Amino acid sequence: MSDQPAAADAPSNPGPGESSQPAEPSKSALKKAQKDKEKAEKKAAIKARELAERQKKEAADAADVSKDSYGELPLCGSKDFKPTGTPRANLSASDAADNEDKEITFRCWVENARVQSAKLAFLNLRQGLDTVQAVVAASEKLSKQMVKFSGNVSTESTLVVTGLVKRVKEPIKSASIKDFEIHITKLFVEVAAEVPLPLQVEDAERPLPSEGVGEEEEKQDESSGRPLVTLNTRLNNRTIDLRAKINHAIFVIKSGVCTLFQEFLSQKGFLLVQTPKILGAASEGGANVFELKYFDRPAYLAQSPQFFKQMLIAARFQKVMEIGPVFRAENSNTARHLTEFTGLDLEMEFQEHYHEVMAVLEDLMLFIFKELNARFKKETDLVRSAYHVDEFKLPESGKVPRIPFKEGIAMLREAGEELNDYDDLSTPQEKHLGRLVLAKHGSDFYTLDQFPLAIRPAYTMPSPSDPLLSNSYDMFMRGQEICSGAQRIHNAALLAQQMRTHDPPINPNGPGTKDYVDSFRYGCPPHAGGGFGLERIVQFWLGLPNIRMTSLFPRDPQRVVP
């Protein structure tokens, strides 16, 4: 297609073929001719103006020594886009040091850009958790136009930048790379961000105003005077919110906990399994379960992989683990409940005593804590410093405090709490016990063993030492439960009996229970296990005020979007 605009084809002057047959025009024809003429003149004027502008721009371009060094790139993947093949650098303090005085090209995004003067612009550029200061300075080789363009790039745009890595004399406070800055030679906007942003990323970096859910009152940050954006506003704009470094750090740690969980257990011979999330019948009592339409019948979402992981032990898989979503239709609007969260589950046969399994669970968590400190210190420090959270204390002996439930009750009583031997602990009592254990044993992590039978699920093995107790345990971080586990009953007759006498009773021959109970008829070995809440581990490791911060797109009774 020609570059000539379509307007140029309009018949402002009759063509040669038309003028060869002159004829007296009618009145209406004259009127039309007049109109056509006016139209043509208007078009000619527009054309002339466009031409003048184009020429002016071309002249400016000709004068702009940097005209090929900045601008907007066409959409990547489109016809106009030509790959350059230029190697792309990483942005980090060590990469910067390696490239001192060299020119590098890298993708980054704009934390902010500002024009300092006609000859100078500054940008803060980010890649991952790293930020660097960049300078665009006018010179013989770099035009003022480019300075102006660069300083006006919208915040959060994605760029491809080329520049020299230069050491600075004074450390740069505002960037994570403090000893180097980038002297930009080329700057292309790869993807422009629209303005205004629905949420400023720097506002998402600041700690949450309060623990509350649905807290709508906007407060101010005391030091910066900027608004403290509520959790709801952040979650409504989660894609922007998640860009905050503090959020990146949280999810790097969450990914790390998963990886460490698997790494430790794989080495112990655990098999990674996937059990169904759609169930033909509500299994564990029927309360707090989401119902769905499964073709022409009802079905239910799994509240845990409990029955299935035990059936796999019955199927002779000696040690199994699963990482997967669990669904709880609990209408709990608290800072530590989600309706969908990630279960870290494991189940294993043991040889003679369920404490063999507790030892595996304790060693597992000690491994995770140790490796979080070793591999994710930067991320941990970044988050804890924002929330002024204490270090997570582990026992110097390396031995996890393992406290019989009865002893826990006694400690609480001694500290003034009123409760009986077989009472369940309230959340405040759990937190109180956490403080007592920390004071006595110097550990933020501990296990309570031998819980009262009446407050545990029907499949829990009663304790041989006291029929009112059970071979079951919970694990706590900073006084809050992160894991519940037990030896399970591996005998069908005893299991059925316990289900029938449970409060509320469960029918062992029901559609959701019969296959489960039957699987213990054919030689299932003794076994125990536990289920951890991944989000809680992350929340309490970091000392975060709200569990929603540890879920990418949290689900609670009020929220199912985005």
Type of residue at 291:
E
Q: How far is the CB of 296 from a copy of itself (least distance, A)?
A: 9
Beta carbon nearer to a copy of itself, 23 or 195? 195
Beta carbon nearer to a copy of itself, 425 or 496? 496
Place of tokens 């799994």: 302
Are the beta carbons of 171 and 108 closer than 8 angstroms?
A: no
For 36, other C-beta atoms within 10 Å of its C-beta total: 13
Beta carbon nearer to a copy of itself, 87 or 225? 87
Which residue of the set 156, 349, 430, 481 is catalytic?
481
Q: Is 328 a catalytic residue?
A: yes
Beta carbon nearer to a copy of itself, 215 or 518? 518
The whole-angstrom separation of Cα 47 and Cα 390 is: 70
Q: Is 58 a catalytic residue?
A: no
Residues 6+ apart with CB under 8 A from 53: none
The whole-angstrom separation of Cα 147 and Cα 410 is: 71
The pairing of strands 291-294 and 445-449 is: unpaired
For residue 538, give the nearest of 303, 332, 322, 252 by alpha carbon: 252
Q: Is 336 a catalytic residue?
A: yes
For 39, other C-beta atoms within 10 Å of its C-beta total: 13
For residue 275, give the nearest of 297, 307, 300 by alpha carbon: 307
Which residue of the set 234, 238, 243, 337 is catalytic?
337
Beta carbon nearer to a copy of itself, 426 or 558? 558
Q: How far is the CB of 207 from a copy of itself (least distance, A)?
A: 19
Beta carbon nearer to a copy of itself, 59 or 75? 75
Q: How far is the CB of 121 from a copy of itself (least distance, A)?
A: 18
3-class secondary structure per residue, 146-172: HHHHHHCCCCCCEEEEEEEEEECCCCC
For residue 162, give the nearest of 204, 120, 134, 129 by alpha carbon: 134
Q: How far is the CB of 203 from a copy of itself (least distance, A)?
A: 14
How would DSSP label each residue in 250-302? HHHHHHHHHHHHHHHHHHTTPEE----SEESS--SSSTT--EEEETTEEEEE-
Q: How far is the CB of 277 from a copy of itself (least distance, A)?
A: 5
Which residue of the set 402, 441, 536, 548 is catalytic?
536
Residues 6+ apart with CB under 8 A from 82: none
Beta carbon nearer to a copy of itself, 210 or 318? 318
Q: How far is the CB of 20 from a copy of itself (least distance, A)?
A: 44
The whole-angstrom separation of Cα 192 and Cα 73 is: 10
Q: Is 100 a catalytic residue?
A: no
Q: How far is the CB of 299 from a copy of itself (least distance, A)?
A: 5
How far from the centroid of its chain's Cα atoms is residue 325's Cα? Answer: 15
The pairing of strands 278-279 and 291-294 is: unpaired
Which residue of the set 183, 484, 555, 559 is catalytic?
484
Beta carbon nearer to a copy of itself, 331 or 427? 331
Beta carbon nearer to a copy of itself, 79 or 388? 79
Which residue of the set 328, 402, 432, 502 is catalytic?
328
Q: How far is the CB of 201 from a copy of itself (least distance, A)?
A: 9
The whole-angstrom separation of Cα 503 and Cα 497 is: 12
Return the bridge partners of 344, or none.
323, 532
How far from the centroid of its chain's Cα atoms is residue 86's Cα? Answer: 31
CB-count exposure of residue 391 (10 Å: 0-12, 13-18, 19+): exposed
Q: How far is the CB of 159 from a copy of itself (least distance, A)?
A: 9
The whole-angstrom separation of Cα 344 and Cα 357 is: 15
- Rounded to 5 degrees, φ, ψ at 525 are -75, 160
> Hey, what are 78's tokens?
């489109």
The whole-angstrom separation of Cα 170 and Cα 4 is: 55
Q: Is 234 a catalytic residue?
A: no
Please list the active-site residues. Answer: 328, 330, 336-337, 481, 484, 536
